[in-house]
Amino acid sequence: MTNTPLSLRRIYKVWLPLAASWLLMGMELPILSAFVARLAEPKINLAAYGGIVFPLALIIEAPVIMLLAASTALSKDWASYLKLRKFMLYAGGLLTALHLFTALSPFYYFIAEGLLDAPPEIIEPARLGLIIMTPWTWSIAYRRLNQGVMIRFGHSNIIGIGTGIRLGMDILVLSIGYFLGGHGIVVATSAVAASVIAEAIYIGFRVQAVLNVDLKPAPVVQPELTYRAFAAFYFPLVMTSLLTLLIQPMGSAALGRMPLALESLAVWPVVSGFIFMLRSTGVAFNEVVVALLDEPLSLKPLRRYTAILSLATTAIILVIAATPLSRLWLEDVSALTPDLFILARNGLWIGFLLPALNALQSWYQGVLLNSGKTRGISEAVALFLVTTGLVLWAGVAWGEMTGLYVGLIAFSAGMLIQTAWLWFRSRPPLHVLCERDRCLEV
C-alpha cells in the first residue's frame, strides 16, 4: 500500500478552526481595552486590569493551562480521560481556593504593593476586579480538558463555535456596562468571568457526544496511563506554563519601576493584546502538530506550513505598523489618546518578531510533545524567563527607557532564546521522524 503525504490542505482544515478559536480569544483583550478606554478613568482601569488582575489570574491558572495539550496527547481511551478529569477537578478546586485567598486576604497587598510596586491608584480597583474573576480558573480547566478530547477525535470545529460564544458574551456584558456607565474594572472583569463560564457550559454540552461516540468505544491503550506516567508527562508542562506566565507579574513590576509607569501599564494590554491576536495563529499550531505528526509522511508538510505561518504573520504586523492601519486600530478602535498612540505604535515595531517566533515554537514543542520528551520545553521556558528577567532588571537599573519599550524588548529577546533552545532539543526526535518518513517513501 502506498503512503500518501500529508497535504497542506489537510493541515489547513485542522488548523483553521483552532486558529479561529485562538484568534477570537485573542480579540478579547483588545475589545475589552476598547470599551474600558471609553469609560471613566481609562488609564487607571486599563492599568489595573493589565498590570495586576490579568497577570495574577494567569499565574493562578498556570497548573491547568496545559490541560489542552495533555488531553490532546493522552485522551486516547476512556480510562485515560477519567484520570485526566479527576486531576482537573482537584486542581481546579484548589486553584480557585487560592484565587479567593489571594483576592480576599492581606496577601493581595503583599503582592500588589510589595512585589509589583503597582501605582497606588490601581491597587483597590484591581482587588475588586480579581474578586469578580474568581470563576476564571475552574472554567478554563474544564474547558481545556474537553477541548483536547475534541481535537484528538477530529472535532476541532466545535472549539471555534465555543470561542465565538465566549466573545459574544464578552461583547454583550461590555456593551451593557458601557451603556450603564459602569466602573471600568467591574465591567471588564464581569465580562471575562461571564464569557469563560458561557464557553465552559457550551463545551461541556457538546463534548458529551464525542465522549459517548468516539472516546468510550476507543481501544484500550496498553500500557494503561498511570498517575505516575501522567505526572512525568505533565509536570514539565506545568513548569512550562508557570514559568511562562511568571513574566506577566514580573513585567508589571518592572514597568511600574520605569519611566512613564502608568502610561506603560495602560498601553501594555492594548499592544500585547493586538500582538497576541497575530501570535494566536501560531499558538493554535501546537495542537495541530501533536494531532498530525503521527501520520505517515507528515514531517515535510508540517515544516513547510510552519514557514508559511511565520512569514505571513510577520508581514501582517509590519504592514499594520508601517501604515495608517495602526492609527485606525490604536486610536479609532482602541480609543488611545494621541500620546498613548505613539507609545503603542512604537511598541508594535519592537514586538514584530513575536508572532513568527510563536509559530516556530509550536512546531518544535509539538515535535517534543509527540516524542514524550517534554523536559526540553521546560528548559526552554526557564531560559526565556531568565533572559526576559535580566533585560527587565537592566531596564529598571538604567532607568532611562520607557517601561513599555523595555518590556517588549525583554519579551522578544526571551522568546528568541526560547525558540533557539526548542530547536536544539527537538533535533533528535526530528531525526527519528525524518528517518521514518524516508523509510515510508521507499
What was the pLDDT predicted at 440?
Answer: 65
How far apart are alpha carbons 90 and 398 in whole angstroms?
A: 45
Torsion region of 5: left, alpha or beta (phi above 0 gives left; psi -120 to 50 gives alpha):
beta
| Geometric angle at alpha carbon 419, from 300 and 426, rounded to 5° | 50
Q: Where are the domains of the chain?
A: 8-441
pLDDT value at residue 263: 87
Nearest to 403 by CA among 279, 267, 270: 267
323-329 long-range Cβ contacts below 8 angstroms, 24+ apart: 329/30, 329/274
* Residue position matching grid coordinates 519601576: 257
Which grid cell sits at 398?
A: 538604567
Q: Quote the CA–CA distance of 386 and 209 in Å, as a whole number.
A: 44
Provide the CB-side half-sphere exposure for 262 (13 A, CA): 11
pLDDT score of 441: 57
Please tell me the predicted confidence (pLDDT) of residue 72: 86
The 3 state secondary structure assigned to 1-69 is CCCCCCCHHHHHHHHHHHHHHHHHHHCHHHHHHHHHCCCCCHHHHHHHHHHHHHHHHHHHHHHHHCHHH
Tell me which amino acid residue 239 is: M
Q: Are 58 and 248 in contact (CB under 8 A)?
A: yes
Helices 184-210 and 123-132: crossing angle in degrees, nearest 10, is 20
Report d(CA 320, CA 235) in Å as an integer.
Answer: 39
DSSP helix/strand/coil, 238: helix
| Max intra-chain CA distance, the chain | 69
Q: State the pLDDT at residue 89.
A: 95
Whole-number Cα distances in Å, 90 to 35, 46, 193, 220: 35, 33, 20, 25
CA dist 76 and 408 (Å) reads 39
Write out the DSSP string of 92-111. HHHHHHHHHHHHHSTHHHII
Per-residue confidence in pLDDT tens, the chain, 442 aa:
446 778 888 888 888 877 877 787 778 888 888 899 899 888 899 889 988 998 899 889 988 988 988 898 889 899 999 999 999 999 999 999 999 999 999 999 999 998 888 889 999 999 999 999 999 999 999 999 999 999 888 887 888 889 889 999 999 999 999 999 889 999 999 999 999 999 999 999 999 999 999 999 999 888 888 888 888 888 877 877 777 677 777 887 888 889 888 888 888 888 888 888 888 888 889 878 987 888 888 889 999 999 999 999 999 999 999 999 999 989 888 888 888 899 999 999 999 999 999 999 999 999 998 887 778 888 998 899 899 999 999 999 998 899 999 999 999 999 999 999 999 999 999 998 888 887 665 4
Pick left, alpha or beta for residue 214 (phi over 0 → left; psi -120 to 50 → alpha; otherwise beta): alpha
Q: Is 154 left (phi over 0), alpha (psi -120 to 50) or beta?
A: left
* CA 262, chain centre distance (Å): 24
Residue 344's nearest CA partner among 250, 401, 255, 263 is 263
Residue-wise burial string across 352-385, b where 16 or more C-beta atoms lie within 10 A, e elsewhere: bbbbbbbbbbbbbbbbbbbbeebebbbbbbbbbb
pLDDT of residue 1: 40
The pLDDT of residue 442: 44
Q: Rounded to the nearest 5 degrees, what angle is found at the Cα of 288, between the Cα atoms of 283 and 294? A: 140
